[in-house]
Amino acid sequence: MSKAPARIRKAVFPVAGLGTRFLPATKAMPKEMLTVVDRPVIQHVVDEARAAGIEHLVFVTGRNKGVIEDHFDQQFELERTLAERGKDKELAALRRDLPAPGQTSFTRQQAAQGLGHAVWCARDIVGNEPFALLLPDMLHFSAVPCLAKMMAAYEDVGGNLVAVSPVPEDQTQNYGIVGVRDPEDDVTEITTMVEKPKPGTAPSNLHITGRYILQPEIFELLERQKPGAGNEIQLTDAMLGLLERRDQDFHAVRFDGELYDCGSKLGFLMANVAYGLTREDLGEPFRAALSKVVGKLG
Ligand code: UTP
């Protein structure tokens, strides 16, 4: 009988990018702190990780990102003021969101040398165990949270997993793309992968959506990884190296929900509409207000 795969306890959140597509908003504020309705984008992604059973949150930060650390810390003055003013609901919500003491770690990527390099910066904190990786600007909107679905698949197949979703054929050059054994399957073996393939050369139209479960051996490959597309150290290139060693399984898990790339202006605006419309306390009045705006300006 095969051994159950090692438990995933830690999740890495690379938040050291420059966010140039969102300037000037990101001049002094991290793009991960932009809000979708009333929660910072990073909080939505941390919610997804915690819903999947993640215990320890590892943030790879950079310059101007200190506010992310503050966001996940206790704000005593604020809590005292809320208590004094009888704002019990707000206080309870803040406390619910607060990670337990000792369950966050922060490290720095001194220069934004690419996603692969950012992940490598987490190697000492992650140690020799498999981990989840969530790109905080990609919001995965679905009934079953994406990472929870991946965790369930991991229980069955172990190894390395990436979430994938189809993109139009003429857009594959903008993404990390995987080739798979059976594109119709919900969970299928990965046969190859490439970061930003030249037009017409992509092995499929399935792109990596920004959710991963990785074995710690990825760090050895990242350590030696040369810069790739965009002259950045690419995670996809290191994953391809691990795949080609053929000593670990690599599976793609299909993500069936809606994806919002909050690193792009359009994706961010769409996320606010989608999350706003589906909020119990806000959906109805927001829908009415939105139709009014669209009616006037649309
Ligand atoms: P992106 O390429 O979308 O982020 O990286 P970016 O570089 O900040 O954005 P633009 O293109 O300049 O607008 C995806 C994720 O990886 C992190 C980013 O913070 C983002 O969450 N990242 C990227 C790093 O942590 N370090 C890097 O060197 C690059």
- Residue 126, in any domain of the structure: yes
- Residue 219, in any domain of the structure: yes
Binning pLDDT at 50, 70 and 90, where does residue 1 land? very low
Domain total of the chain? 1
| Tokens, residue 85 | 């003013």
Predicted TM-score (pTM) of the model is 0.96
Please enumerate in sequence order all residues whose Cβ is within 8 A of that of 256, keeping only pairs 6 or more positions apart, or say none. 142
Mutating to test ligand 1, I would choose from 107, 115, 117 the residue with most ligand atoms within 8 A of its C-beta, which is 115
- Residue 286, in any domain of the structure: no
Q: Tell me what the pLDDT averaged over the chain comes to.
A: 95
Residue 194 domain boundaries: 10-263
**pLDDT-above-90 percentage for the chain:** 95
Report whether residue 159 contacts ligand 1, using a CB cutoff of 6 Å.
Answer: no
Q: What is the mean pLDDT of residues 207-220?
A: 98
- Residue 96, in any domain of the structure: yes
Residue nearest to atom 1 of ligand 1 (CA): 17
- Residue 254, in any domain of the structure: yes
> pLDDT digit string (tens) for 147-170?
999 999 999 999 999 999 999 999
Cα 53 from Cα 99, distance rounded (Å)? 13
**Sign of the CA dihedral with 241 first, then 260, 202, and 256 last:** positive
> pLDDT digit string (tens) for 68-102?
999 999 999 999 999 999 999 999 999 999 999 99
Cα 189 from Cα 169, distance rounded (Å)? 21
For residue 198, the domain's CATH number is 3.90.550.10
From ligand 1's centre to the CA of 17, what distance in Å?
Answer: 4
- Residue 47, in any domain of the structure: yes
- Residue 294, in any domain of the structure: no
Question: What is the atom index within ligand 1 of the atom nearest the CA of 14?
Answer: 25
- Residue 119, in any domain of the structure: yes
